[in-house]
Structure 1
Amino acid sequence: MKVIVTGSNGLVGSALVRQCMANDGISHVFALSRKRLDEAVAKSPKVTVILHDDFSTYPQELLDKVKGAEGCLWAIGGRATQFPDIDTYRKVQVDYTITAANAFRETLVPLLPEGSHFRFVFCSGKLAEWDQTKTLHFMADTRRVKGQVEQRLCQVADADAAKRFVVYCARPSRILPANAGLAARVFGKLYGAIGVDQLAKALIRVLLEGYKERIIENGTLLTL
């Protein structure tokens, strides 16, 4: 499978690229990135790095470069507190994601062989909330915005009459970097933290095999 990966310089995105390179089920990675990737990754014959400055638009020239892609691993986003304000966070988390989903559904899906599907796997977060009016007592902005992305992605999938654009929303708890120390790993077990490479492998498995549900909770990710 040829796959598009976003957020390739981030914690999750970089792990996704590494694990895709190591997975025999992935034939090629189109890494969309604002910045250049590590030389070892960029020089891999299995990876094409596509520098893309504006994730609010997908010109035909860019879409031509990712022709043949059968799925996307979306890892742009994070927590609201990592952004200067809620409007910026919503733009990056909601607008960028939905713009890409629509572009891929409209442009890439029709190019796939008859009967095949395009799987869009979104890295969301634990306790994402679809009800935008619900009172939340912690991480409210993050949970509401991630819930909004999930809901709108599902709407994009539902709008595809042929049901060839398929969406999965993964909800990891805290994500541990590959070099996390013993204390972080032990403490992380108390709230179901998941290692970044384990998460990447789980997302790739969903990409390759699909899953019975659209929303994939943290407990399930730990078992995939």
Structure 2
Amino acid sequence: MKVIVTGCNGLVGSALVRQCIANPAISHVFALTRKPLPEAVTNSPKATVIEHDDFSAYPPELLARLAGAEGCLWAIGGRAPQFPDVETARKVHVEYTQAAAKAFLGHLVPQLPEGKQFRFVFCSGALAEWDQQKPLYFMADTRRIKGETERGLCEIADGDATKRFAVYCARPSGILPADAGVARKLSGRLFNAIGVDQLAKAMVRILLEGYKERIIENSELQKL
């Protein structure tokens, strides 16, 4: 399988690229990135690094380079306070993610062999909330934005008459880097954090095999 990975310089995205390169079921990785990637990626015969500045637009020449991809691991995003303001966070999550999903549905799905399905796996977050009017008392902006992104992706998939575009939303409750120290690991237990490599392996497995539900909670990710 050929796959697209985004957020390749981030904690989750970089782990996804590593897992894809190491997985024999994945034949090629299109690493879609704004910034240069490490030599371990650029030198891999399984990876094509594509630098792309505007993740709200997918021109024909870019889509041509992604031809043959059967899935996408989307790891662009984060918590709302990590962005300059809430509107920027919403733009990055909602606008960028949905623009990609629509472009892949419109241009990559029709190129797939008969019977093949394109799987779009979005790295969301625990307690993501679809109801934008519901009162929330902690992490409200982050949860609403993640929920709005999930809902939009699912609506795009539901609108596909061919049913060949599938969406999955992974909801880690917290993510521990591979080099997390003892103190961080202990604090991570308070919210049942998942290791980044474990999360990446779970998302790759969902990409390859699909899953019984669209929304995959943290407890299920830890079992994959």
Fold in common (TM above 0.5) = yes
- Is residue 2:206 matched to residue 1:206? yes
- 1:29 Cα shift? 0.2
> Which residue of 2 is the match for residue 13 of structure 1?
13
- 1:186 Cα shift? 2.3
- 1:191 Cα shift? 1.4
- 1:184 Cα shift? 1.3
> Which residue of 2 is the match for residue 190 of structure 1?
190
Instruction: Name structure 1 gaps, 5 residues minimum.
Output: none
- 1:16 Cα shift? 0.2
> Which residue of 1 is the match for residue 129 of structure 2?
129
- Is residue 2:149 matched to residue 1:154? no
| 1:21-170 matches, cutoff 5 A | 21-170=21-170
Distance 1:84 1:186 in 2: 30
> Which residue of 1 is the match for residue 177 of structure 2?
177
| 1:213-224 matches, cutoff 5 A | 213-224=213-224
Letter of the structure 2 residue corresponding to residue 120 of structure 1: F
Show structure 1 runs of 4+ deviating over 6 A. none
Letter of the structure 2 residue corresponding to residue 49 of structure 1: V
CA-to-aligned-CA distance 1:34-55 (integer Å, 9 cap, x gap): 0010012111000000000001
- 1:190 Cα shift? 2.4
CA-to-aligned-CA distance 1:74-99 (integer Å, 9 cap, x gap): 00000000001111111101000000
RMSD: 0.6
Letter of the structure 2 residue corresponding to residue 180 of structure 1: A
CA-to-aligned-CA distance 1:116-150 (integer Å, 9 cap, x gap): 10000000000000000000000000000000000
Distance 1:140 1:99 in 2: 24
Letter of the structure 2 residue corresponding to residue 79 of structure 1: R
Distance 2:109 2:41 in 1: 27
CA-to-aligned-CA distance 1:60-80 (integer Å, 9 cap, x gap): 000000100000000000000
3-state secondary structure, aligned to 1:76: coil
TM normalised by structure 2 equals: 0.99
Distance 2:186 2:26 in 1: 32
Instruction: Name structure 2 gaps, 5 residues minimum.
Output: none
Letter of the structure 2 residue corresponding to residue 169 of structure 1: C
Distance 2:187 2:144 in 1: 26
- 1:187 Cα shift? 2.3
> Which residue of 2 is the match for residue 2 of structure 1?
2
TM normalised by structure 1 equals: 0.99
Letter of the structure 2 residue corresponding to residue 15 of structure 1: A
Letter of the structure 1 residue corresponding to residue 132 of structure 2: Q
Moved more, 190-199 or 116-125: 190-199
Letter of the structure 1 residue corresponding to residue 152 of structure 2: R
Distance 2:191 2:140 in 1: 18
Distance 1:70 1:56 in 2: 20
- 1:31 Cα shift? 0.3
3-state secondary structure, aligned to 2:67: coil
- 1:189 Cα shift? 1.8
Distance 1:191 1:88 in 2: 27
- Identical aligned residues as a percent: 72
